[in-house]
Structure 1
Amino acid sequence: MDKPEILYDAPTLADIKRIGQLFFEDMTDLGVGITDEDMFRLATHVVEGSMAEEPTFLCRVARPGPGVEPCGVVLANFNWSLKFAGRAMWIEELYVTPDFRRMGIGRELVDVVLDYADQHGFRGIDIEAYQGNTPASVLYRTMGFHRLGRERFYYRLGPQEFL
């Protein structure tokens, strides 16, 4: 099979269902008990919000050709960071479907975020990998990310505990 030409661009309204599926696949792979309806609703907010005049996050998709459904997605939230002493980005989601892994798509999606951050005056970017996700850890280190000596905790509001 020939390696397809991968295009990286902003999501469109037509991508909402597929992005919801990508979010759901990733969360399911991680053992997070979330519904596909929740991920569809989130994808709707993400795609619509990414079209805002002054977005508060960046979402980009990878697609194997013009007009083809996305095979990968990155979602980075904007925030303020003491560590970076200014505006920063948090890469919340980086997911590439299994059939398109090991083609450099994840790396390119992170590069898209790095380029955006550089062009828009951000001071730094945070990202995490789940324990045991060695390919992600290797990718981030080879791209120049540094490991932090701390633990991350979460607190979920609502009745469902899943992590």
Structure 2
Amino acid sequence: MRIYKVEKPASIEQIKQITFLMMEQMNSLSINMTEESLLNTVDKALKADSGAEFFVAEKEGRIVGGAFLNTGIGLDKGGPYVWLNDLYVRKDYRRQGIARKLLLKVLYWAELEEFKGIELETGINNAATKRLYNSLGFYDIVSKRYGRTLT
């Protein structure tokens, strides 16, 4: 198992594999998105100046898990921080510690890059993911996230 940050610019093969992985996640969340649209978004995210990063878990040449994040500046953090948008492992590779390894790699990278914090969210009823996050020092922040799609 190899866990690494995808270097920019990413190869078309990496972009396709990441798109395939994240499409599986979108489908599992019942998010209506075309593969072409997701491919374009992944491609944009992996441009040199996007502020987005992908970390992947690769086994036998196949990407089996991924962490997608964006970086920003947080006034409450006193500087740069990471927002972990997605953490996903293929169903047939779960319960092998891959999500933990991905998150540890992200934490290590963020500390080296001198980020001030990492934030993320998960579903209220996702007990397994909550246990993972709590075991790595994450804690609950009382808030309610809002969103709006722009055209």
Is the pair's TM-score, using the shorter chain for normalization, greater than 0.5?
yes
The aligned amino acid for 1:132 is N
Once residues 24 and 154 of structure 1 are traced to their aligned partners in structure 2, the CA distance between those partners, rounded to angstroms, is: 21
Provide the secondary structure at the position in 1 that maps to 2:27.
helix
> How far 1:55 sits from its partner (Å)?
5.8
In structure 1, the partner of 2:111 is 118
Deviation string 1:33-64 (CA, Å, 9 cap, x unpaired) is: 111111111122233x2xx2x66222111011
Against the structure 1 CA distance between its residues 119 and 55, is the aligned structure 2 distance closer, same or farther, given a 3 Å change threshold?
Answer: farther
Matches within 5 A, 1:98-109: 98-109=91-102
Alignment of 1:1-150 (within 5 A): 6-11=1-6, 12-13=10-11, 14-47=13-46, 49=47, 52=48, 56-65=51-60, 68-150=61-143
Identity %: 28
The 1-side partners of 2:30 and 2:136 are apart by 27
1:29, CA displacement in angstroms? 0.8
Q: Give distance in 2, aligned partners of 1:118 and 1:77.
A: 15
Q: Which amino acid aligns with 1:44?
A: D
Q: Name which of structure 1's ranges 37-46 and 83-92 shifts more when overlaid on structure 2.
A: 37-46
Deviating beyond 4 angstroms after TM superposition, the runs of 4 or more aligned structure 1 residues are none
User: SS state of the match for residue 70, structure 1?
Assistant: strand
TM-score by length of 1: 0.84
Q: Do 1:15 and 1:69's aligned partners in 2 also have CA atoms closer than 8 Å?
A: no
One-letter identity of the residue aligned with 1:41 = N
Q: Which amino acid aligns with 2:28?
A: D
Cα distance, 1:78 vs. partner?
0.5
Structure 1: any 5+ residue segments left out of the alignment?
1-5, 159-163
Cα deviations by residue, 1:4-46 (Å, 9 ceiling, x for unpaired): xx10123341211111111111111112111111111112223
Q: How many residues align?
A: 147
TM-score (norm 2): 0.90
